[in-house]
Structure 1
Amino acid sequence: MYTNSTFYIGADTPDTIRLVPDLAICSASQHPFLVLEVGLSEKYDDMLETAKTVLSKSPTTKFCIIIKVFEKPLFRPPVKLGDYLCKPRSVIPIPSPLSMNDCHACESEPEGPIMVNGLRWVGKLSAFWEIWGRDISGNPAVIGERLWFYGPNTQSQTIKVDLTGLERNSTEIAIKSSVLAQAIHGSRAHLAVNRCYEFLTNWSAKRQKT
């Protein structure tokens, strides 16, 4: 199992593509057997196009799992960079030092926004996964139904993926949606902190140019 490793799909053809999946399960020959991509800012259509391309060009890849996370409303920094370029750091409504303890969730909405100093840095999240493989003709095709696993009224389910042909002892892998949901839930504060630091980095860079 590999994370953020680089693979070259269709290396023997002129239109080779570079693939860096969030997670990959590889065969003994180190070719990707299953790839998993998680997207927040990425568009679903772009993720789907990548999955179809991989399945079309890589005969060793049997599955592509798409996990798409949606944020409502779409993220925009709650403070405007231009309003603070001529002001000191102490005026910016981001704690210094900043930690995840400064991130506050809405107890009535488990998937709801994450606030820092009363400002929303992460919106309400929801997520689904799709498993893509091939149909009987060998063309890319979705396997089963789209499963919403994070958001209001979602239920925990287990998806089993057939590993036959992987040249390993395991015959299948079981993925619990509740585990993925917990991972997304726990990452919201990290995301808020990262966005705050990104804002501060941009603020500092702009200040040096003015």
Structure 2
Amino acid sequence: MSETVNLSQVQRDHSDFVERVYRMSGQDVRKCYQCGKCSAGCAVHRCEGFDVSPNRVMRMVQLGMEDEVLRTKTIWTCVLCSTCTARCPRDIDIARVMDALRIMSKKKNITEYAKTANIFHQMFMDNIAKWGRMYEFSFIVGYTLKTGYGLSLVDLGPQTLLKGNLAFFPPKTKNRGVIKEIMENIERMEGEK
């Protein structure tokens, strides 16, 4: 009899977590049937910062694995590009789920991986402000030096440069001053909040 009560409690805990994720993200993760298209299309799924794939994150939410999913690197490494969302045959906005999980993680003070995500965001924005668009070589080198992530990609650098897939010199961007002005306006507006 006690096993039934425990099983019933586990089911309530699962549905409670799923419901909280739904309220925060507006997405019903119960619709996910684990096709894996989100993971197959994810640009950063194979990076060392991802410890579980996007479809596994969805499954962990479905199973009510709250503490486990909030402690994954994946929710912080996700760049919220929404490729997973575009590929989802069930129309689940997975990027919104990832963002909701980040918020939940911060509220529970589970932030061991938030620091590198904040470094990524700040460096990305600084890169855009400085060059007018993404200058990948500078970004990769700077991010690797600041966080240690990406060291496994060091061997790929020379090959990528030689093939022309990664520009060694910064891009020449028209209207760089306009972009810089936009970025300064954003900073000013954020400072006023």
Instruction: Please indicate the TM-score interval, normalised by the length of the shorter structure.
Output: under 0.3
TM-score, normalization: structure 2?
0.24
- Quick check: which has more Rg, 1 or 2? 1
Higher helix share: 2
Q: Which has the higher strand share?
A: 1
- Length-normalised TM-score, structure 1: 0.23
